[in-house]
Copies of this chain bind each other. A is one copy, B any other.
Amino acid sequence: MDQPFLVPAGSRVSLADYDPDYTGSYVDKAAAKAELKRSSEKLQDLQEVMWAEGKHSLLIVLQAMDAGGKDGTIKHVMRGVNPQGCQVTSFKVPTREELDHDFLWRIHKAVPRRGYIGIFNRSHYEDVLVVRVENLAPEQVWQQRYEQINHFEKLLADTGTTILKFYLHISKEEQKDRFEARLRDPHKNWKFSMEDVEKRELWDSYMRAFEDALSRCSAPWAPWYVIPANHKWYRNLVISQIIVDTLTSLDMRYPPPLPNADQIAIP
């Protein structure tokens, strides 16, 4: 399996090397959308076996700049999965109770149980992104977190959770276009926030923080992928295919048939 978007463990990521406009061999969205539909159907089948087998769980972590497409990815990639086996957690500004615990406490509570797909819309990575860039904790605190995150994710992986982490890579220009679209469209206005605009000023600092997180926390058992995300249709397809390939490689099976199934009579 060719993995052009995978961050190899131990490598140093420079986001400038990744083209957010990249669309591979696809020239328009029609073909990609048809391909996404096929991929989604495979995902539905795989989710059903995962649920029936009750052995594995899948954790998908989504991180991006504002308007990077986290919500859209969930909506379009996960559409069609059975909501009974899929749990999305959006991590927002921590509550007072959450802040009175270590930064992984609220995260650990939300990891998917066996048979489930868990999706993190933002995650523990905020604690080395916004916290670092906006000086919400001393450097000595957030510097320790990369290793703490690696240990935590290793625990999950060792105990049955398959982890996939996607950084949705958009350009600063694309973010501007998306903010402007939110201002223009009355059905999107509610997504607009002046705070998001203010964060644009810190774009370069965020890129450095992302580069560090991607470089220091991509492991064979919890890989990061840098997904070209200026084109939503390409982003959706790539993510769907990585999920499908990963679940396929788990070689999941329905539980074995009951040995005496043909002898059981229903009264």
Contacting residues, chain B, for A119 (C-beta < 8 A): 83-84
Once bound together, how far apart are the Cα atoms of A211 and B9, in whole Å? 60
Is A33 located at the chain interface by the 8 A CB criterion?
no
Is the CB of A52 closer than 8 A to any CB of chain B?
Answer: yes
Q: Shortest CB–CB separation between residue A154 and chain B, in angstroms?
A: 27
* Residue from the list B87, B121, B194, B257 in contact with A186, Cβ < 8 A: B257
For the complex, give the distance between the alpha carbons of A200 and B266 in Å.
9
Q: Within 8 Å of chain B (Cβ to Cβ): is A261?
A: yes
Stoichiometry (number of copies): 2
Measured between C-beta atoms, what is the minimum distance from A168 to chain B in Å? Answer: 15
Bound state CA distance, A239 and B224, in angstroms?
41
Bound together, the chains give a CA A84 to CA B122 distance in angstroms of: 12
Evaluate contact between A254 and B75: CB separation under 8 angstroms: no
B residues near A71, Cβ cutoff 8 Å:
84
Is residue A78 contacting chain B, with contact meaning CB distance below 8 A? yes
Most buried by B among A83, A87, A189, A258: A83
Say yes or no for A180: interface residue by CB 8 A criterion: yes
Does any Cβ of B come within 8 Å of A219's Cβ?
no
Given contact pairs A78-B83, A82-B74, A84-B88, A190 touches B52 in the complex (Cβ within 8 A) = yes
Q: Give CA–CA (A257, B86) in the complex, Å.
A: 32
* In contact, B83 and A186 (Cβ under 8 angstroms): no
Residue A176 CB within 8 A of the other chain: yes
Q: Is A160 an interface residue (CB 8 A)?
A: no
Contact assessment for A254 and B83 in the assembled complex, using a CB-CB cutoff below 8 Å? no
Which 6 A-B pairs give the minimum distances between C-beta atoms?
A190-B255, A84-B88, A83-B86, A186-B257, A183-B261, A179-B266
* 10 residue pairs bridging A and B, Cβ less than 8 Å apart: A52-B187, A84-B88, A176-B266, A180-B266, A184-B261, A189-B254, A189-B257, A190-B255, A194-B264, A200-B267
Other A-B contacts than A83-B88, A192-B261, 9 sampled, CB-CB below 8 A, are: A71-B84, A74-B82, A75-B84, A80-B80, A84-B121, A180-B266, A183-B258, A183-B266, A190-B255
